[in-house]
Structure 1
Amino acid sequence: MSRLRLWSIKRQPVKKLPFLSVASADPIPAGGFKSCKAVAAAGYWNSKRGRPAYHPRLDRDRDRLACER
């Protein structure tokens, strides 16, 4: 009688994707950014409300997302 063998899959470590992190972007100046050009130059974009790079003056359509791309 032959034995049934289950295939096993070797687990490999998960590769991290290169997402933008706060450590890879420039620091946020005191008082916030003056324009969306400054936000993009510093490496931030699509800043959600509650995030350090968000400011209401950068959210033109008031959808809680500043400097949309």
Structure 2
Amino acid sequence: MDIKAVVGRNVKQHREAKGLSQEQLAFEADLHRTYVSGVERGVRNPTIAIVARLAIALGVQPAALLEHPTGQEKR
């Protein structure tokens, strides 16, 4: 699985678990909603600084946004 897709899937999963909209997450992370959408869809390649901002806004460690799904091959 592509790392951009992994990050996007994890951001969306954590966002939905917190009950946040993309707009709310974007506000908390000081990003534009369309940027968050692009990250979640795996079309944006966020920097480590952006990953950290998203993690803080989601209340998780940055590593949680980089974890591959269980049973998936790491590439």
Q: TM-score, normalised by structure 2?
A: 0.22
Structure with higher Rg: it is 1
Greater relative contact order (Cα 8 A, min sep 6): structure 1 or 2? 2
Higher strand content, 1 or 2: 1
